[in-house]
Amino acid sequence: MSLSIPAPLEAELDELVTRYPQKRSASLMFLHTLQEHFGYVSPEAVEWTAAKLGLAPINVFELVTFYPMFRQEPLGKTHIKVCRTLSCALAGASDLRKHFCEKLGLDAKAHVPQTTPDGNFTVEFVECLAACGSAPVVLVNDTLCEKVDASKADSILAEGKSGGAQLRAAGTLSK
């Protein structure tokens, strides 16, 4: 598979390079931008970034594997990030993630992000989402959901199955 970069995207990336004293300093911004566009960082995106910034592919691949926010595979349409840092852990984050996994038929014991075969959901543990007062919290795509119990979890899944259109609009989920 070859990577097709639309002209406006390439212009955006070229502009990024000008912000740094060295080309290679733009690596992370490149990866964020490419992931935003393609949904994940493919091996082709790694090669393309390396060539563009005058690096060896391994230099870029090191970054992609170091930072957990970079994805090497496409994510589900609804991306459920369950916080597991202290407050959420005490408030039952582990059970919450297990609940998501079991409902979606995913392996709750695996430590890496799990995606359903139909590509609709991805469930993973993340570190602190900075909402400790309303633990346990979950970030669904870009929407923060607080004090998530089993029933809220089920409605997140229902929303996801229905296309997630109301997820952002429904203020109920964020409280």
Partner 1 sequence: MSATVTAENKPAPPPVERIKVKVDGREIEVPKTTPDWQGKPQATTMLQACAHAGVDVPHYCYHHKLPVAGNCRMCLVEFGTPVMDPATKKPALNEDGSPKIARSVLPYEPGTPRGAIACATPISPGMELYPGSPATAQMREAVLESLLINHPLDCTICDQAGECKLQEYSVEHGQAASRFVETKVHKPKAVDLGPRIVLDDERCILCTRCIRFTKDIVNDDALGIINRGSYNTIAAAPGRQFDNNYTLNTVDLCPVGALTSKDFRFKMRVWFLKETKSVCPGCATGCNIIIGSRENVIQRLEPRENDAVNGPWMCDSGRLDYKWVGASNRLKEVLVGGKPSTWQTALSEIGSRLVTAAPGSVAIVGSARLSTEELFLLKQLARKFDAITDVVEHLGEADRLLVHAEKAPNYSGARITGLAYTEAGINLPRIRAGIETGSIKSLVVVGEDLVAAGFSSDLLGRLSLLVVSDIVPTPTTSIAHYVLPGCAYAEKRGTFINAKGRVQKFMKAVEPPGTARPEWEFLHELVHQVTGGNGYSTIEGLFNLLARELAPLAGLEWSRLGDTGVTVTL
The distance of closest approach from Cβ of residue 159 to partner 1 in the complex, given in angstroms and rounded to an integer, is: 33
Strand order in the sheet with 143-145: 114-115, 121-126, 78-83, 138-140, 143-145
Beta carbon nearer to partner 1, 59 or 143: 59
- Pick from 51, 56, 86, 90 the residue near partner 1 by CB under 8 A: 56
Answer yes or no whether residue 25 interacts with partner 1 by CB under 8 A. no
Binding part of the chain for partner 1, among 5-13, 61-69, 102-110, 157-165 by CB under 8 A, reads: 61-69
Name the residue nearer to partner 1 (CB basis): 61 or 121. Answer: 61
CB 38 to partner 1: min, Å: 16
Instruction: Kindly write out the interface string for residues 62-81 of this chain, putting x where it contacts partner 1 by CB under 8 A and - elsewhere.
Output: x--xx---------------
Distance CA(22)–CA(112), nearest Å, equals: 34
Among 59, 87, 120, 155, binds partner 1 (CB under 8 A): 59
- Report CA-CA distances (Å) from 92 to 79, 139, 154: 19, 15, 16
Distance of CA 39 to the CA centre of its chain: 9
State the minimum distance, in angstroms, from the CB of residue 60 to partner 1. Answer: 8
| Runs of H (alpha helix) within 39-135 | 43-53, 57-66, 86-90, 93-104
Supply the minimum distance, in Å, between the C-beta of residue 156 and partner 1: 29
Q: How far is residue 70's CA from residue 64's CA, in Å, rounded to a whole number?
A: 6
Beta strands 78-83; 121-126: pairing state: parallel
Rounded to the nearest 5 degrees, what angle is found at the Cα of 27, between the Cα atoms of 26 and 32? 100
Build a one-symbol-per-residue string for 33-52: x at contacts with partner 1 by CB under 8 A, - elsewhere: ----------x--xx--x--
1 forms part of the interface with partner 1 (CB under 8 A): no
Query: Distance between CA 164 and CA 79 in Å, rounded?
Result: 11
Q: What is the binding site for partner 1 (CB under 8 A)?
A: 43, 46-47, 50, 55-62, 65-66
